[in-house]
Amino acid sequence: MHCSHRPPCPGCPRFGVAGIAPAAGDALGSLARKHGLPAVPIISGPATGFRHRARLAIRGRLGSPKIGMFELGTHHVVHIPSCCVHHPVVNDVAGIVRRALVDRRVSSYSEGTHHGLARYLQVVVERRSETVQVVLVGNCPNAEPLAPCLDLIQERLGTSLHSLWFNGNTGSTNTILGPTFQRWSGPDSVVEHFGGAGVHYPPGAFGQSNLDVAQDIIEHVRREIPAGARVMEFYAGVGAIGLSILEAASVLKLNEIAAQSLQGLALGVAGLDATQRDKVSVIPGAAAAEGSLAAAADADVIIADPPRKGLDRELLDHLRDRPPKRLLYISCGLASFLEDTEQLLAGGKLRLTSLTAFNLLPYTEHVEMLARFEHA
């Protein structure tokens, strides 16, 4: 397998190498052996075309913009028009947007001067329709300076366009998305299905890029939910996991803090039938908040899918001292997962009974883990 963008594109440091990074495999294997578990299964998906979601930087000269990835340690963009890990539609959209920027003479952003209009492009492919949610991030408070370009993008994408959005980011930080979204056309959210209810992704909500492997993770979680269980999920996002287990659960409580994810979660819950909707309650706020922890008191199963830094300390202490019958911990940070596991087991009330690895971001050092802990 060959990639014409390497080097200097840094997106796939282990390009062409199958499986997870050896250091990650060794660490998980050691943990499994320590707790008497079998060899850790590693679940992988397609080797190319798997990224249904991409955030790409826009930099370069007027009339010659580059759309792609920053070189390591710089704000120099590597133009990647034919990325082989992107879904092909992502590459098509990036090409159309680039030509629209040229034809409407839109300047690209420069960190050095904090001038230039076009900063980033976000593309999300909806699997069932293969249409695209497109967000153009501008260095301006509203969409007016980019209106001619947005109109041209909408025209040229035609029926392949799901929705088009402007995002305003006038800050001088490395944050990609700003606080302001303006819908130019199309529905509020991309909708995905992971074996259950529709899951809604507004343009600012977090979503996995590798949906095939994400679906494998969710299927593994679904098999771990006993019929009739009372379930609480922390860091629930838009409900991709939680809404998929509704058939098995008798009660489902979903905790989330991010506003755009809560918006998507509300859309997903609103789309349920009355019987399913009555099972669900949403607890907005931090996982560490007293109200969130109190809501977990009667849960048979707790699901936690924290960010890379791991569990909030207050939640970790709660799970260690007052564990449920079953804890399902989905982790995207190996170091924090190993530390959290040591702390969770230190109280002697939980035991690690299952561990699975998922190659969610192939060709990187990243590994996703699903661990099952049970009451000792």
Indicate which residues carry an active-site annotation.
Answer: 332
**Distance, CA of 75 to CA of 256 (rounded, Å):** 32
Strand partners, 231: 252, 301
CA distance 195 to 246: 10
Long-range contacts of 10-13 (CB under 8 A, 24+ apart): 10/69, 10/70, 10/71, 10/72, 10/78, 11/69, 11/80, 11/83, 11/85, 12/85, 12/362, 12/363, 12/364, 13/363, 13/364, 13/365
d(CA 190, CA 162): 8
